[in-house]
Structure formats: structure tokens, C-alpha cells
Structure 1
Amino acid sequence: MDGALGRASVSRKRRQPENDHKLGWTTLSSRVAWQGRFPVFEDEIAADLDGRRHTYTYLASRARAVAVLAQDDDGRILTVREYRHPLKEVVCDLPMGSIGPDEEPRAAALRELREETGYAALSADSYGAIHPIPALTRLRLEFFRARGLEYVGHDRDRSEILQTEWIPLEAVLSGINDGRFHVGALPLGVLLADARGQLDRDQDDR
């Protein structure tokens, strides 16, 4: 490997702690333990440190997803309320969804925004990505800041029953702080956007 990409790769390796190699595990075998909407894998792994073995079970969900943060002229954040069956409750979250096999992340963000909320956006710019639950799945969630909104009507999946809600920014921040907004991409996306200067605030708050 050469060029800028090669130099970047070497640079990343140099920043890793020297003893990280002692923390790794090697996959000895892998099988599908259960096949459903998302396959469940069962891997036999061995510790690089001392060879101890362990059976690790994880969810093979789609590897990439997007979440979309949008604000109106008053600074309110566009959210969706939806029932999440594993929690047995209705939660408030950002518009989000999986990236298609041959789909670009930005296109997926614009598509999910329109499907779930009915709003089209002139632009959607990435402002960060995380692996939210690395112990269970390799899912990578990328956040996009949508701008230039226009309501054009939604196009939801038959399995989705959603309600959109515009929530004032300060109410979202206080809800994250007191635990009312505690699931999904909403707290992660808003706090990351705040840290990276992606939130539109009133002039008095800047």
C-alpha cells in the first residue's frame, strides 16, 4: 500500500496502544446458529493472549445504517414516535434505517427522511459515525445533517406506524439529560451534533 492511504493506515496503527495485540481473539470456526430476519452467528474463538477458548454469539444484522438530524427555522428537531417491540413501548427517535446493498449512505439518509417523515431535503451531510452496540452486532450508524426541508408526503413501509413530532431543541437536550429520551439515535445524534457545531441555536444561546 502506498500514497496518502498507505500513510494514513500506518499512522492509525502507530496510535494504537502497544499491548492491544494481547486483547484480541482469533476466530476458529463460525456457523449460523439460527436463521430469521437477522441471522444469529455462533463463533468459536481463542484468546491471542493465552489460547483460552470461548463460544461467542452475535447478531448478523445489516452492517450499515443512517440516522438523520433535521431542524426547522425555529430550531426544533424533527423526530418520529414509533413502537419498538423489544422494549414494549413507544419511543421518540430520529428518522433512521438501513442502507441498501448498492446504496450510498447519503442517498439512504434522504430516502429514510422522506419515507418516515414526508420531508425531502436539499442536502444531507455526514457529521460522524459510531458502532452503537459492538458486543452484539457490527452495525455502523452514520449521522447526517439534513437541510432545506420541504414537505412532499411520506412513503412508509407497511410495517411502520409512525408519528412525526417537532420538538424544541432545549426540550430535547433537557429530555436527554433527565432520561426521557434514552433510546436509539436521538441522544447520540443530538449530542454528537452539538459537540461538532451542527446544531442551529438561537442567537442568544451561541
Structure 2
Amino acid sequence: MPPSEPDPLEESPLESLPVYDGVLLKVRRDRVALPDGSVSVREYITHPGAVVVVAVLPDGRLLFERQFRYPLRRAFLELPAGKIDAGEELLACARRELREETGYEAGAWQYLGVMHPCIGYSDERIEIFLARDLTHVGDALDAGEFLEILTFSADEAVRAVMEGVITDAKTVTALFRALPELGLGISPVPA
């Protein structure tokens, strides 16, 4: 469909009301006009956005974090990631999060794209970066942030996804977006 034509599936907001205003998340309830002219309600979370970093060590291994995630009451394996601060440039956020969480700085950065992790109930976007030429300078974790740093080869990481060990959506998406840049093609099945 050409960009100048209206999308026949578009829903138009009629009214938007705040429901909850938290530290990180905000919930809104909108009345919307549906494509057939009827009216419905949409509730959703607004989020400031985030970055995720596929960080490649000099030996080709990837940096991962093991971090407890309270909503699911367990630890997850994830790529380094974090929230974009108000007014912060995307690359600056990626650099900051990599340094704070893993203690590494990167000499080379590549933007890989964006993902939308929960399109049914949030406007969150996560910007994906590939970081190379890493140098360890020491971590600077935020207060109240606890995590373990692990490394996996790209093949080990793909296998962990396929075996259900890595289930975090941003990590799965970023890993598979990075595979062609890592020289591994895009096949989800390791050799």
C-alpha cells in the first residue's frame, strides 16, 4: 500500500485518559474509532524505549547476563540492555548500558534495527546494536542491580534459544538479527 493511502485497518483515537502513572510505566485507556465506524476501548502501557546490545568479545564469544526478573520470579539469560533516558541518544544509551552492566566499552558500533516486544499492550520499542572491539574497563551497576556476566559462542547461544534456555524476546530477536553480521547466516539451527 502506498504511504499516501490511509491504512484500512487503522484505529483512530477519540479520547485518551491516564489510568496509572508509575516510575517506569504509564497505563492509558483510549476510546478508538474502529475501521467499521464502531467504537471500542484500548488499554496500553507507554514505555520510554530501550536498547539491547549484541557485544562480541575479541575471541568471538558473546556477552550475556543472568538477571533475576521479578514479574516472572526467576533469573533469565539476556543480552545487555536498558531503558533510554529522556533526551538520550540511542547510541549513547547503548554505550552506557554496555559499560554499566558488563564493564566493557566497544570501539565499533553498528545499528541493526528495532523490535517491538509486546505490540498487543505496549508501545515499547527496543533498538538493537552490535558492539565489537571490546575493552574491559570495569562495571558500574546501578544501585539495586545484581547480575552475572556469562559468555557463549554464537552457536551456543542459538542452541540455547532452540532448547528453550533463552526465552527473553529482545535477546532472541537481537541474536537472530546479528547472526548475518557474525558470519553465521540466518539459519536458526546451529551446524
Aligned identity (percent) is 31
Instruction: Please say if 1:136 is aligned against 2:126.
Output: no
Work out which of the residue numbers 135, 146, 163 in structure 1 matches 2:148. Answer: 163
Partner of 2:9: 23
Q: More helix by proportion, 1 or 2?
A: 1
Partner of 1:42: 29
SS at match of 1:31: strand
SS at match of 1:22: coil
Amino acid aligned to 1:21 = D
Instruction: Please say if 1:60 is aligned against 2:43.
Output: no
For structure 1, the 5+ residue unaligned runs are 1-10
SS at match of 1:134: coil
CA distance in 1, matches of 2:98, 2:112: 16
Flag the 1:12–1:116 CA change in 2: closer, same or farther, 3 A.
Answer: farther
State the 1:22 CA deviation: 2.5
Aligned residues: 185
Amino acid aligned to 1:13 = P
SS at match of 1:92: strand
Q: Which has the larger radius of gyration?
A: 1
Deviations along 1:128-180, whole A, 9 cap, x unmatched?
11222121111121111111111111111112111110112211111111211
Q: Where do 4+ consecutive residues of structure 1 move more than 4 Å?
A: none
CA distance in 1, matches of 2:151, 2:91: 22
Deviations along 1:28-86, whole A, 9 cap, x unmatched?
10111122221110101111x22211111101111x21111112233211001101111
CA distance in 1, matches of 2:142, 2:127: 21
Is 2:115–2:170's contact at 8 Å kept on the other side of the alignment? no
State the 1:183 CA deviation: 1.1
Partner of 2:87: 102
Instruction: Please say if 1:13 is aligned against 2:6.
Output: no
CA distance in 2, matches of 1:122, 1:149: 6
Partner of 2:158: 173
Partner of 2:172: 187
CA distance in 2, matches of 1:33, 1:102: 24
Amino acid aligned to 1:50 = D
**27-36 or 70-79, which deviates more:** 70-79
SS at match of 1:100: coil
TM-score, structure 2 normalization:
0.89
SS at match of 1:113: helix
Partner of 2:181: 198
TM-score, structure 1 normalization:
0.83
